[in-house]
Structure 1
């Protein structure tokens, strides 16, 4: 039996996620003085900044007596334990034991657990093991013609992979997002589309749907989606809502544990200069609250990677290939491989 916060580490889903980048916090949540506690894949971590402002992610544990470092502070660019005031530098070396200031500090090499951490797009990313894929690219981040708005975080008592698959599913629009992204009384059939796989992940051909309230302006649009999956918990779409209007969403789902996740969004739009941030967030909050209720209801909580466990139709093609990709990544990680073939295949 798994206790709360634990994950079946032999499962291919866990294997696929342990060596990937995951968003765990907003960058502005970690100050120079105070560490921050987060949980990733059931592991309690502490985020902190050294004297140069570099972000670090360690197991939230002091090797002296097991206290949580996140309850401490950062002094002179070193993290200090709240229990006995021991300090550790960015390399994990103990530098100060206040009870014995003249004694050589003990070795901490085997008792300080450091993970991989990076900062990009105003977010903090962590990989428990050495990451086998690069940090995702957010195409509009450097494009000044796009306005960027952070939405969320949205906390789901649901699985991160289920949440990403939900984000990639256009056929739920008329029902979960009735009268926003579709008409429940006249649901629109989805035309067949393609899914492409290469070393960058998955992406689709264009998927067209009519939406009564298609973007933050509250107007009906003939929306044309192109989806991408950059990492197992990082997905993205470009949504064309006019000749030049583009509504892009960069989504990251933190796998807190197997049945809990946090959704982080960055929305990028190149229209509606008059739109207030409040109006933009109103639509995002409404859509992701509707999604939350569905994702939290799904059973089993973990995304089934065996395609025989659930039924599928043609419109589920992206979800099917996402599950196959997660299974493949898990098998690669379980076998200890560090490289993946650079191929591009149209999946139909």
Structure 2
């Protein structure tokens, strides 16, 4: 499966699981249909293909001992680089075969998430980290398990005209459904819309109605963001969406919200608000047909208000993204 993925997919960082989910035992995860095992040692976090080279048992069934991942079947021990350093059944005077290695993947931990990359990372961290200003209050939201293709979830996030109907009374009002014309431009490889003004009865869960100024961004095949700005008082937040495409029709989504206001306020209300929005979106993305996102623009009808969706589909095609698309 991995051999079929384009470089644009393999060079990206994906959030595999919450840091709080990884303790002293190995934990399995799935990305692009590939089984992954993650584990923690005194040297940090590690990610391997979840397969012992000996007899094909998942390494996630094993344990972590003395900073080594131990296979549950025959006790083979792997260090953090994936090298087998001990085979109990092998006489002490015999060398460990060179082939006795686990496939290791790039892995690191930040912002409450464990990140993995299946290929050669394009950068040391996801590119949008540059927007995580230290002066902003950063809140982690999710994970959200969705029975939907990753590109469908990203496109829903980028779709401004659904706010007035799916999120009516919160992010939009069906009495004010018109979307101004806007353009999509590219800045340093990032797709970015002009600002779009949307009337919102409850912009972020605090019960405040206002004309929000939206800007949407696409950083990669499964990473997008929106910037919501209130020009009247200078309040602003970035909301980053990161999707882990587990299979073509099952995904795990995470969000990071970075706001410049109410930084001492409890985060629970903001998280609960986003949880509500995700459940409203779930009904749509889990029932869309076809399940995989069509990249042929003739397959569905598009309007000017769909320009970001169009640009996203075109970019997916350029990136060679075939996972979760049709």
Which of 158, 163, 182 is matched with 1:168 structurally? 158
Instruction: Specify the SS of the correspondent of 2:161.
Output: coil
1:105 deviates by 4.5
Matches within 5 A, 1:62-77: 62-77=52-67
| In 1, Cα distance between equivalents of 2:64 and 2:28 | 13
Change (3 A) 1:198 1:246: closer
Q: Does 1:92 align with 2:77?
A: no
For the Cα contact (< 8 Å) 1:16–1:326, is it kept in 2? no
1:120 deviates by 2.9
Superimposed CA distance per residue, residues 113-142 of structure 1 (whole angstroms, 9 cap, x where no aligned partner) = 222223332322222222346622234534
1:45 deviates by 0.4
Instruction: Name the residue aligned to 1:78.
Output: 68
Change (3 A) 1:111 1:88: closer
Instruction: Name the residue aligned to 1:197.
Output: 186
Which of 238, 243, 246 is matched with 2:236 structurally? 246
1:267 deviates by 1.4
Instruction: Name the residue aligned to 2:14.
Output: 22
1:221 deviates by 1.2
Unaligned residue ranges in structure 2 (runs of 5+): none
For the Cα contact (< 8 Å) 2:197–2:213, is it kept in 1? yes
| In 1, Cα distance between equivalents of 2:13 and 2:240 | 14
Q: Does 1:136 align with 2:139?
A: no
1:163 deviates by 0.4
Change (3 A) 1:201 1:124: same
TM-score, normalized by length of structure 1? Answer: 0.85
Superimposed CA distance per residue, residues 71-92 of structure 1 (whole angstroms, 9 cap, x where no aligned partner) = 1111121111111111011222
For the Cα contact (< 8 Å) 1:21–1:231, is it kept in 2? no
1:157 deviates by 0.1
Superimposed CA distance per residue, residues 121-170 of structure 1 (whole angstroms, 9 cap, x where no aligned partner) = 232222222234662223453422x2222111111000111101111111
For the Cα contact (< 8 Å) 1:94–1:105, is it kept in 2? no
Instruction: Specify the SS of the correspondent of 1:150.
Output: strand
Q: Provide the alpha-carbon RMSD of the alignment.
A: 2.3
Instruction: Name the residue aligned to 2:25.
Output: 34
1:58 deviates by 1.1
Instruction: Specify the SS of the correspondent of 2:127.
Output: coil
For the Cα contact (< 8 Å) 2:151–2:222, is it kept in 1? yes
1:16 deviates by 4.6
Instruction: Specify the SS of the correspondent of 2:245.
Output: strand
Q: Does 1:276 align with 2:276?
A: no
| In 2, Cα distance between equivalents of 1:331 and 1:304 | 11
| In 2, Cα distance between equivalents of 1:273 and 1:48 | 33
Superimposed CA distance per residue, residues 190-210 of structure 1 (whole angstroms, 9 cap, x where no aligned partner) = 111111124432111111110
Superimposed CA distance per residue, residues 196-230 of structure 1 (whole angstroms, 9 cap, x where no aligned partner) = 12443211111111000111311101100111111
1:8 deviates by 10
| In 2, Cα distance between equivalents of 1:163 and 1:109 | 40
TM-score, normalized by length of structure 2? Answer: 0.91
Unaligned residue ranges in structure 1 (runs of 5+): 1-6, 333-348
Which stretches of structure 1, 4 residues or more, deviate above 6 A after TM superposition?
none
Instruction: Name the residue aligned to 1:237.
Output: 226
Instruction: Specify the SS of the correspondent of 2:129.
Output: coil
| In 2, Cα distance between equivalents of 1:258 and 1:102 | 46
Q: When the two structures are aligned, how many residues end up with a matched partner?
A: 320
| In 2, Cα distance between equivalents of 1:233 and 1:34 | 28
